[in-house]
Amino acid sequence: VNPDRAGPGSGAGKCRLPCPAMSETHLTPQAHERLQEELTWRSGPRRLEISELIERAREHGDLRENADYDAAKHEQGHNEARVSQLESILKDAVIVEGGQGDTVVAGTIVEIRMDDDSETTTYLVGAIEERHDEFDVLSTSSPLGVALLDNAVGDVVDYEGPKRTFRVEIVSVRPLETS
Lowest mean pLDDT among 2-11, 24-33, 54-63, 109-118: 2-11
pLDDT more than 70, % of the chain: 83
Whether residue 87 has pLDDT greater than 90: yes
Average pLDDT over residues 89-114: 84
- pLDDT recorded at residue 56: 92
Whether residue 15 has pLDDT greater than 80: no
How far apart, in Å, are the Cα atoms of 173 and each of 50, 71, 118, 154?
Answer: 44, 46, 18, 10
- pLDDT recorded at residue 100: 66
Asked if residue 150 lies in contact with residue 5, where contact means CB atoms within 8 angstroms, the answer is yes
Whether residue 40 has pLDDT greater than 90: yes
**Dihedral over alpha carbons 140, 143, 145, 149 (to 10 degrees):** 100
Average pLDDT of the chain to the nearest whole number:
82
Whether residue 179 has pLDDT greater than 70: no
Whether residue 20 has pLDDT greater than 70: no
Whether residue 109 has pLDDT greater than 60: yes
Report residue 22's pLDDT band, with 50, 70 and 90 as the boundaries.
very low
Give backbone dihedrals phi and psi of 40, rounded to 5 degrees, phi first.
Answer: -60, -45
Report the SS3 class of residue 179.
coil
Which residues pair with residue 89 across a beta bridge? none
Give which of 89, 88, 109 is closest to 98, Cα–Cα.
109
- pLDDT recorded at residue 42: 96
| Integer Cα distance of 162 and 165 in angstroms | 8
- pLDDT recorded at residue 11: 42
Total residue length of the chain: 179
Q: What is the pLDDT of residues 120-157, one digit of tens each?
A: 999 998 887 777 778 899 988 889 999 999 999 999 99
Lowest mean pLDDT among 2-16, 34-48, 133-147: 2-16
Average pLDDT over residues 61-80: 90
How far apart, in Å, are the Cα atoms of 31 and each of 28, 70, 160?
Answer: 5, 33, 29
- pLDDT recorded at residue 75: 96
